[in-house]
Amino acid sequence: MSTVTVVEKIMDANDQVANLIREKLTAKKVFAINLMASPGAGKTTFILRTIQELSSRLKIGVIEGDTAPVTIDADKITAAGMPAVQINTGGECHLDAMMMTRGIEQLPLDDLDLIIVENVGNLICPAAFNLGTHANILIASIPEGDDKPYKYPNIYRGLDVLIISKTDLMPYIQFNMDYFKQGVEMLNPGLTSFALSAQTGAGFADWIKWLETNVNKIKRAG
């Protein structure tokens, strides 16, 4: 049996589990997003700002993926008043559907409107594994540079939404937005994107509107 065949079987099995997860979440009328980014891009700060904006209107659960058994990020979410589950990947560079299954089993699905999955921080592995969420979202922060779509094309191809974050740093960092967006457009034409700052709140309203719209679509489905 070749290595390619083994990999294909692993991915097929993962996709089957992911499909079951998506069906379960849809039946429970819970919208779920897979949030990906490189380390230091500001995923947790972005999640906390999203919770702050929506906590009076939506019940939100968070699944935190990490390569080490630390609960720093999960503790921050819990302190914000939302249920959080920490998944230790055992050194793996991504979450997969089986890990996702264990995560949602520990969340009160009947009491939730939205699940945010904070994937392991890197721009390669997470792109390959379907988690059964309704949308794949990437945070690309200004300090990372404007060449990331050219260096890590696979993660941009599979996106439903792109968040361009830390826009408050634009005056201090050389970042060619036109060059960046050109790279994104070549990989994922017409991709929905939001340029914002979790620190100042600038641009956040459009992201929140998109999120609430999709949560309500799931609520109305069926």
**pLDDT of 39-79, one tens digit each?**
999 999 999 999 999 999 999 999 999 877 667 778 888 88
CB 34 within 8 A of CB 136: yes
Tens of pLDDT along 100-140? 999 999 999 999 999 999 999 999 989 889 999 999 999 99
Q: Which residue, among 92, 120, 91, 115, has the nearest Cα to 10 in the 3D structure?
A: 92
**Phi then psi for 25, rounded to 5 degrees?**
-65, -40
Which tokens sit at 111?
């009491």
Which tokens sit at 26?
């849809």
Confidence (pTM):
0.93
Fold (topology level) of 3-216: Rossmann fold (3.40.50)
Query: Residue ranges of the domains in the chain?
Result: 3-216
